[in-house]
Structure 1
């Protein structure tokens, strides 16, 4: 039995939080739009104490700090192929770096393979977005270094299978390789370690479609053969639907949705009809929009939808985009409410509260594909 088979949970985070100071972001080399978080916009009219946007919507703080993760609860069962998805700045890279033991949390706790990340480092392989390699080494020397650093676990055959698939010459120097070829080398090092937990941060982003398909197949085959738990962040939703069996959706530093992929899709429904949304009161409306045929909505269901509604099963992409659009609408409403409260004196009469079970309702005709870009 593999080491991960004896573990019930591969990654478990409880109220995990990470706050980056602005100077730390500069030291780590993050640029605006990169993860984790986004670098602060300098200048402007604000002085000391001014709040600036951190790249994590809704997580602005005093000058010089930003929450990349806030009260983040994650539980990934062992043996799964888990997709970690979300928009830029959602906290995906930060979460993976915590699981790899490279970052200490500001608050909360994270455990991997039943222990602290640092204590499980020998059983963890991590491939970062920039895939750092020694540029002066050859392909062969790089794999030899991997063997020397992991003498008890190294599987040379597994590593060379990844390299040979790209028709790379053993004597090729790393600095002369393309981005996609360097990705192969980084994945070869990770798989050659025979890890119990494999953490991949946008691993296939710089590969062409054919190479991406081939490497994904090899990765899944290796994981199935060894029982390795794989957690990978990605924006390629179409491939995730067929490659992954578990999913975690992050937005604004928190988990928005998590679970088995099949159960997530089966727990949602797309409905179209002319009836009012109040007829769907027993279901949670994630988002809705007015169409030429009346009203269409994405629901989170626990029982069959009844009434005069056309019901269909959504795709995984439709579910994820619906939740992200809903999250953004909630953030916009919260911001507007906060601005209104600050600008206006308290109302003399109490505000009525809704008893609806609806999570959020938006009126949007956008496809929303930019939500994960």
Structure 2
């Protein structure tokens, strides 16, 4: 009797989430839990089914407890409070609560609320925490699932700080990062030119070709920053035109050297610190060149910008993607079958995260959690 009761209970648990109850090593603290179908959505909310959800490095930092943004526990999944992993993802609307306008069943939406918990099959979300994704030819699920963090970070940094015109130059480090590649492509679509820096590596020529194929104008290693002839080279490439915008995700001495290539009244925008070294800038750049330094965090942008502006940015990115001007990242989809047990599902996710942590994954991983709920 107990066996049949258990089977009946499991048959009702049509949803699944990847969760953790305390911070720690993601490869150890993450587990999978199943839960029953979602109730009808409350007013001003919708129920969604997630189609794809990336596993981003920042997601692992959140689980470790070292990222500034902290998620809230998701009630009702287990007896004890748990957190659902994931910040980014593409979902399909499955049902709509009273008071919701502008959305229909089967519309695609992406999350704009930080740390909302996207590593699950289904969720109830507030209508103000999502933005509808227009469906255009050429737009794939991978495009849409990865469009709320890296592409808008690139787009907004190119738009919000300097009024760039066609032919202007932008300089950046970490050019092979997801944001860096988006910067190259969005800049190229606007007729901007980019001077890109990457760390030295064995397959450098292959990486340079990859970035040039995306639209990079020049690609150099950080070693070039110590070459005294670089300033003259840059002056020749730009035709003597000042570079007024630099984008930094590295920090440390490489950024200090890169910033010296900027002209008067330039802006340095920092959105990361991969070297884990402090950002040190010569006082002379501020006094004699009137340098302005900014920080940028896309999560904060969503909190401070009106919904109309969020939708405008998403529409612009969708159009670029549909036109093939903004390519999806190299990726691998990790599918968790609805037939897998929670133990099996949790182990699959932990195995992928172990490989990511060990540097074995050169591609972006996206979770596809299947369920028996439509």
Question: Do both share a fold (TM > 0.5)?
Answer: no
TM range (shorter): under 0.3
TM-score normalized with structure 1 length? 0.26
TM-score normalized with structure 2 length? 0.26
